[in-house]
Amino acid sequence: MKKLMRFLGLLMLLVSFALPAAAAPKYVVDRAGLLKPQQAQELRQKLEEVNRKYQVRTFIVTVKSTGEMEAGKFANELLDQVKDKSNQGNMVMLLSMDKRKWYISTDNAMRAKITDEQGIKYLSNQIVPKLKKNNYHDAFLAFIEGTDKMLAYYQREGVPYDPSRGFNPMAAGIALVIAAVIGLLIRHVLIRQMNNVMPALEANAYLDKDSFQLEEKEDNYLYMTVKRVAKSKKSSSSGDSSRDDEHGGGGGGF
C-alpha cells in the first residue's frame, strides 16, 4: 500500500510540477513513452486550443502502470490533483499500459457536458479501435476532436451531445430493409386476395364422425435426445467504472 501511495504521489508530483502558476499547464503527460516529441507537442497544442476555447481543463496522461490501483480510481485521483474549479469543467484521459486500460475521468461540471453514458460511449467508439491498433497518436487526436465536438455542441445547444440524436446510417439501413420486407408482405397479401381458389387436400367434411372407431392405441418409448445450450454470459458494455458523486466518466480495456 505504501508502495502504491508512493507511486501515485510521485506521479502527482510530476504532473503538478508541470503546472507553474503563471504558465500554461502541461496538458499531455506521456509517462509511458508512447508518443514522439513532435506528436506530443502537436497534441499539446490542440488540447490547449480546446481548453482555451471552452474554458475547460483536459489532460492526456499515459503511465506504465497504476500499481494495484484501478485505472478509474487512479484517474479520479489525478483529476482531483490537477482540476481547476474556476474552469467550466475538468477531465483526464488516462492510459495505463501494463494492463492496457484506458479511463476518462470527469468532474461534475464536465460530466454535465460529456455524459457518462452517451458522451463517454461516443469517445470510446472513437478512440478504442485506434488504441487496439497501438495507434496512440491518432487515438488521442480522436479524443481531442471528440471532446471539441461535444463541447461545441453543448455551447451551441445547451444540452450534452447525444450521438443518438444525429442521423444513424445503420439504423436507417435496418429500417429500410425491414420496411421493404413488410412492403413486400403487404404486396403479397394484396395479390393473394385476388385469388381464393384453393385445392382440397383432405376429406374431413365427408368423414362420418360417428363411424370412427379406434381399434388400436399403443404408445412405446423409443429413445431420448438431449440438447444443451450454453447460457450467454452478459458482458459489461460500459467497461470499467469508478464513478461516484464527484467523478464521472468511464473506461475499459484495449
Measured from the CB of residue 18, what is the shortest distance to another protein in angstroms? 39
Measured from the CB of residue 244, what is the shortest distance to another protein in angstroms? 25
Shorter beta-carbon distance to another protein: residue 68 or 218: 218
Measured from the CB of residue 74, what is the shortest distance to another protein in angstroms? 30
Burial of 48 (0-12, 13-18, 19+ CB in 10 A): middle
User: Would you state the cell numbers that stand for residue 87, as one nine-digit string?
Assistant: 474552469
The whole-angstrom separation of Cα 112 and Cα 105 is: 13
236: left (phi over 0), alpha (psi -120 to 50) or beta: beta
Considering CB under 8 A, how many residues would be counted as binding another protein?
Answer: 55
Measured from the CB of residue 220, what is the shortest distance to another protein in angstroms? 5
Which residues have a Cβ under 8 Å from the Cβ of 25 and sit 6 or more positions away? 18, 19, 57, 59, 82
Q: Does 183 bind another protein (CB under 8 A)?
A: yes
Shorter beta-carbon distance to another protein: residue 21 or 222: 222
Which residues have a Cβ under 8 Å from the Cβ of 4 and sit 6 or more positions away? 67, 68, 69
H helix runs in 55-193, sequence order: 71-82, 108-113, 118-132, 136-157, 169-192
Stretch that binds another protein, among 2-10, 90-98, 132-140, 184-192 (CB under 8 A): 184-192
Which residues 188-247 are close enough to bind another protein by CB under 8 A? 190-191, 193-208, 211-231
Shorter beta-carbon distance to another protein: residue 13 or 184: 184
Site track for another protein across 77-116, x = CB under 8 A:
----------------------------------------
Measured from the CB of residue 210, what is the shortest distance to another protein in angstroms? 9
Maximum CA extent, the chain? 106
Please report where in the chains the cell 412405446 appears, as a residue: 220
Measured from the CB of residue 233, what is the shortest distance to another protein in angstroms? 8
Site track for another protein across 141-170, x = CB under 8 A:
-----------------------x---x-x
Q: At what angle do helices 118-132 and 136-157 cross, to 10 degrees?
A: 160
Interacting residues with another protein (CB under 8 A): 164, 168, 170-172, 174-176, 178-180, 182-184, 186-187, 190-191, 193-208, 211-231
